[in-house]
Amino acid sequence: MKFYLASRNKGKMRELTEILTPLGMELEPLPEDFPEIEENGTTFAENAKIKAQTVCDALGAPAIADDSGLEVEALNGEPGVHSVRWAGPGLTDHDRNVLLLERMRSVPETERGAKFVCVAACVFPSGKALTVRGECRGTILDEERGTGGFGYDPIFCVPEYSCTFGELEPEVKNSISHRARAFTALGSALRAYLEATGEE
């Protein structure tokens, strides 16, 4: 079954294609002229639903979206739902990482806990909406390591692998990440829904 992905993030498109293709789901990119979607929700779930609903309404087809971010314990959950906009407009991933590391400079190693959170949503033209949540816990390093992934990946260390998301092989990251967990759960929820309704 085909779904539009409510995102222009090429890294996300690549990751989600790798996650969802084995589940029998085909992702379509947004049309080039699709307008920017205003994410004015206050939670990951609200933003994911807003994006999926907007695309579904405009294109008349099922749409999948997610909203994700990094919650750092020592920063009271920041950057959180504002992970991309947290540091201000026009900044690169590296710029945001540098700012976060600067904010964390005096935080001891034992208090650098963090988690990536992802809420995925799928909205159908019928009005049916499915949402699921995935998390991956880790720690914030004191420097960037690795060039893979995107966003805060190079400073987020996964204890069981002793390396960052930026250092992990894509197939490993895509099996343990917050996004992998959310979209794997969404895949299961979608399969159950489609089997129950007979939609194709």
Tens of pLDDT, residues 157-175: 999 999 999 999 988 998 8
**pLDDT of res. 200:** 58
The percent of residues in the chain predicted with pLDDT above 90, rounded, is 68
Is the pLDDT confidence value at 5 over 80? yes
**Structure tokens that stand for 55 in this block:** 């695309």
Active site residue 66: no
Choice among 33, 57, 66, 67 that is catalytic: 67
Per residue in 67-110, pLDDT (tens digit) is: 999 999 999 999 999 887 887 788 899 999 999 999 999 999 99
pLDDT band at 24 (very low <50, low <70, confident <90, very high): confident
Give the mean pLDDT of the chain: 91
Is the pLDDT confidence value at 150 over 70? yes
136 and 158 in contact (C-beta within 8 Å)? yes
CA 17 – CA 138 distance, rounded (Å): 24
